[in-house]
Structure formats: structure tokens, C-alpha cells
Structure 1
Amino acid sequence: MSRRALPFRTPGDEAVKAQQWVLVVDGEGFELPEALPDWDYQMSLHLRNEVHVDLDAVHASTGLTPDAKLSLVVVWTATGSGLRGTAQRVPLSGEGAHTVELDVELSGTQLGGLLTLDTQLVLAESRETGAIASPRRGGSVLWTHTRTLYLQGDAPQFPIAVVDFEATQLPTDSAWHVQLSEELNTATMGALLLLVNERKKPVVTAFQNAASPRPIDKVYLAAAYADIARTMIEHALADPDFNHDSEYAEDSLGATLQSLLENLFPHMSVQHLRQRREQSPNLFATEIQAAVSIFEEA
């Protein structure tokens, strides 16, 4: 197994030790599992961890001196959204042993797919001088601990934002609006957004209860899902370059649209669907209702 060789000295295993990540639910901590099958984009993640850093051992193994400015950083990456960010940054300096309490909260609307948490010890500022082969460039990663979590649920798999349509150009009496990017190779979670009108309280409540909906919630969700499917299908068919054989990046909007059409119309080509839409758009909209089984379980 090959190992990447860094151009500077790094701490030994005894210098920096991370504990296991903990998922916090209603104030109670649980060991973070490999996957969250009931997760949806309404669910933010509250996570905690503890990292022990022996700065004396770090300095001895890297050649850095006690005046070196270090930081313990938590970086998250989500394949579903294609997004990446810094969840927490804790400065470290001086000598002796330190216990760093990490406490991060990640918004569900930015996540999806495979979530990767990289806990890193980095050199916070560049240094002009130092021991031979000691790290000198600011941002150099001296140590990393990686943890992954697969997020997959049965609730709607796209980001949702609740906004006041009065403050937008959208019709104030509408319940929701689907925003779609024209660039089909963009990550789906960054290319698709469902806006829900906060003035439509029953609809907002239905989406909040999407993971465990009441009978009335199922009615609103069924109507919304049918309309969202129709919007996405028409968006795909309106693009002359879109086809089942088109190559799109994994987790991209184009790949999502291909999957949607294959699931709803498994025996029809894109060209045939385009023709049906052009010849009888009203009938085609009704066929989409049938394909999504609207109100079947309401």
C-alpha cells in the first residue's frame, strides 16, 4: 500500500489522537454510525469529538518551535451537494498537552451523499526559518483524521428553503417553486432548490414532517412531488442535448434527470417522450401524474 510522502516532518501517532465522532440528538450523544438511512435534507447534523494534542511531542517531531501558530480544523465535504466547508477552527500555540473539544453543526441543506469529515492539524502561519525539513508554509497539513458518513433517506432528496414569497418575484399565492440550473453537469444539490412559501403553513408543516408524515401531510407532499417531477422532466426534455446516452458526472443534475426518466418511463426513449410532450402537453402532464402514482398512499 503506497503512502504519500510529505516534503516536511510530521507528528507521530502519539502526538495527536482523535476520539470517535459522536452524533448529538436532543442533547444526548450516540456513536456516529456508518450510515443514516432515515436522514433527509431537513435534518442538520450536530457532531462532537475530542482531540488530544501533545504540543511538546508535535514540536519535537516536526522541528517547530513553541512560538509556531497551529490550528485544529474540521473540514467537511459532501458528494451529494458538491459542497465543502470549514466547520470549526481552533487555534493552538505554546507547550504542553491540550484537549480540544470539537462541536460542529452542519446544515442539512448543504449535505447529501457521502459526508467526509477531515480533522486536520495545520500550520496556521508561514515561517521564514526553522529546523531542517520542518514545515514552513502556512496551511501545511501536519496530521489528518478522516471519518465518513453515508447520508441516504426516503424523504425528498433535494435541498429545501422556506421563504416569504412576498419578498421575491414569485406569485405570493403559490405554494412552492422549483429552481433548476441550465448546466446539467452541476452537482444536483447545487443545481436544484425547492422554495416553499412560508405563508402556506400547511405545506411548510408537511415538508417538516416529510420523514414521518401525517395523512394530511401525505396529500400535500404527493401534490408537490408530482409537480416537482413534471418540472424536472420538462426541464430535461427542453434541453436538445439531453438524452439517455448523454454522459454526465455522477450525482450531477443530468444524471439525476436520466434516473428520474428511467424510473418513471422505463420503456420510452427521450425522443419519444419529447414527441408526446410536443404533440399533447396536457395529456403528457397527466401521464406524469400516473407515473408518480399521485395520491396513491395519501
Structure 2
Amino acid sequence: MTRRVLPYRTPSENVISAEDWHLVTPDGDIAAPEALPDWDYRMNLRLRRVVNVDLDRARTESGLPADAPLLLSAVWTATGSNLSGPAQHLRLPRAGTVPMKIDFELSGTNLGGLLLLDTALVLAERRPDARPASPRRAGSILWSDRRALRLQGDAPQFPMAVIDFSLTSFPDNAAWHLQISGSLESATMGALLLLVNERNTVTATAFANAAKPRQIDRLVLSAVYADAARLMVEHALSHEDFSEESDYPDDSLGATMLILFDRLFPDQSITDMRLRQRQSPSLFASDLQAAVTIFEVS
């Protein structure tokens, strides 16, 4: 592991012993894998790990007094949504070797792409009387590590919100609306937003039951996903520079569109599908309906 060089003293690596991250599931804890192929935005993630800190050595080797306040901090970053935030801050006791349990839950609607989990031991308060070469600023990092977890489910991965359409410019009786904004280079999670009309109880209930859907919920969700796929493909094809040779940033809207297109039409070129859309819109719509396998639910 690469160790960054800081302008102040830090403790030895063996002062902190960090256990692996675990996913907390209804069936118990499992070691966090490198990727979650079945993840989608409806899946919240609860993560847990234990970090053992030798507090006496941590302070001594950093040149800090025995009463210097320390924090164990966990921060998350999602590349697909361009969002990040603090997950948990734990204030450490004064002495001894203590196991600190980090345990938090992240909302799936805020995630996507690569989930980065940063853990750090930091100085909690500024120390104006610090000795030379010892940390003095609040937030000075004494130790840190990073773990990456790729969220790569095939289900639509974009944030959603349930709102009252009567308070918006959308038709009161519409069931849902997919907003697509920004360029194809924009982050997917920032460019897509699925709005569900709370006044349409059938659709709103289907999303509320998405973790354990009934048969009717599966049919509704299938219709929403089919419509979202149609809108995304049509949006991509409207950009003349959208092609197999396009080079979009990872987790961008363009990259997501290419993945979606390849999954829906693996044997068709983008140029051919663009021509079909323009020359025979009804046939194109049927092709897309078949590709998303609408209403094929178990």
C-alpha cells in the first residue's frame, strides 16, 4: 500500500489494525466483494468494519500529548453520482488499545459507479501549542486507508423522487417522468432523475414495494423500466456524435448509454438503429419493447 508523506509525524502502520469491510445483510454479515453485480439504486448498503487502535502509541509516535483528542472517521464517495459525505465519526478514548466499530447505512439513491470508502484516524481539535513536526491542525490525518466497491447492476441506476405532480408543471395524472439533463459527458447520477407521482398510488406503491414486489408491482416496474430505457436510447440517438467509437468518461451519461445500447441491441450498430428510428418509428418502438422484455416477470 502506498503511504503518503505528510509534513508531520505519524504513527507506525502496525499501530492501527483495520479489519475488512463487511456488508450487513438479512442473512448476516458477508465480506464486502470487489463488485456487486446485482446492485441497483433501490438497494441501500449497510457497511461495517472494526478498526483496532493502540491509542498510547498513536499519540506518542505522532508527538502528541496523552490528552490529544482523536477521531476515527469514515467518508464515502460515489463516482457515479458525484456525491460524497461523512459516514461516521467516532471519538476515541484516552488510552488503551480499543476496537472501534464503524457501522452505517448508505441510501442507494445517492450511489452508483465506484463506491470509495475512506477510513482515517485524525486529530480532532487544533493544537496551537503543538511541538515542532507534530500535527497541529484539526483534521490532520495520522492514518488512512481506502477500499473501493464497484456497483454495477444492470437495473436502471439513477436517483428517484416521489412527488405530487399537481405541484409541478407535469400532468396531474401522469404516473412518472424521467428527466435527462446535461451532456453525454455529464455524470450519469447527476443527469438522470426519475420522478414518480405520489397521486398515482399503483406506481408509488410498486416502488415502495420494490424490495419485495408483488406480481402487480413487478408489472408496473417493468413498464417504468421499459419506458426509461426507451427515453434513454432515444436521447442518445438524438446526438449525432453518439457512436460505438465515442470515448466517454467512466460513469458518464454517454458511457451508460453505450452500455445500455450494447445490452439491448448486441447485434445492431448504432447507425442502423438511428436510421430505423427515423425511417420506421413504430418498428423501432417494437424492437425496443422486445429488447427490454417488457412484462416478462417471474
TM-score exceeds 0.5: yes
Q: Between 83-92 and 55-64, report the one with greater CA deviation.
A: 83-92
- In 2, the alpha carbon distance for the partners of 1:76 and 1:43 equals 16
- Any residues of structure 2 matched to 1:46-195 within 5 Å, and which? 46-92=46-92, 94-153=94-153, 155-195=155-195
**Residue 33 of structure 1 aligns with which residue?**
32
What runs of 5+ residues in structure 1 fail to find an aligned partner?
none
CA contact (8 A) 1:40 1:155 kept: yes
* Letter matched to residue 278 of structure 2: E
CA distance in 1, matches of 2:120, 2:150: 21
Contact 1:79/1:114 (<8 A) preserved:
yes
Post-superposition Cα deviations, 1:223-255, rounded to whole Å, max 9, x if no partner, equal 212211111112112223323222101121101
% of aligned pairs identical? 56
Secondary structure of the 1:71 match is strand
Kindly indicate whether residue 44 of structure 2 is the aligned counterpart of residue 10 of structure 1.
no
Normalised to the residue count of structure 1, the TM-score between the two structures is 0.84
| Separation in structure 2 between the aligned mates of residue 2 and residue 74 of structure 1, nearest angstrom | 19
Mapping 1:274-285, distance limit 5 Å: 274-285=274-285
Does residue 1:219 correspond to 2:219, yes or no? yes
TM-score under structure 2 normalisation?
0.84
**Large movers: runs of 4+ above 6 Å:** none
Q: Which moved more, 1:188-197 or 1:17-26?
A: 17-26
Q: 1:154, 1:211 within 8 Å by CA — same for their partners in 2?
A: no
CA distance in 2, matches of 1:154, 1:268: 19
User: Which shows bigger deviation, 279-288 or 244-253?
Assistant: 279-288
Q: Comparing 100-109 with 250-259, which one deviates more in the overlay?
A: 100-109
Q: Distance in 1 between matches of 2:8 and 2:221?
A: 55
Q: How far apart, CA to CA, are the structure 1 residues paired with 2:121 and 2:209?
A: 40
Post-superposition offset of 1:217: 2.7
Q: Tell me the distance in 1 between the aligned counterparts of 2:132 and 2:28.
A: 44
Bigger Cα displacement from structure 2, 196-205 vs 1-10: 1-10
What secondary structure, in the 3-state scheme, does the structure 2 residue paired with 1:186 have?
coil
For structure 2, which runs of at least 5 residues remain unmatched after alignment? none
Q: Which amino acid aligns with 2:207?
A: F
C-alpha displacement at 1:67, in angstroms? 4.7
* Root mean square deviation of aligned Cα: 2.9
Does the 8 Å CA contact 1:68/1:93 hold for their aligned counterparts? no
Residue identity matched to 1:82: N
Separation of aligned partners in 2, 1:182 and 1:81: 13
C-alpha change, 1:276 and 1:20, in structure 2 (3 Å) is: closer
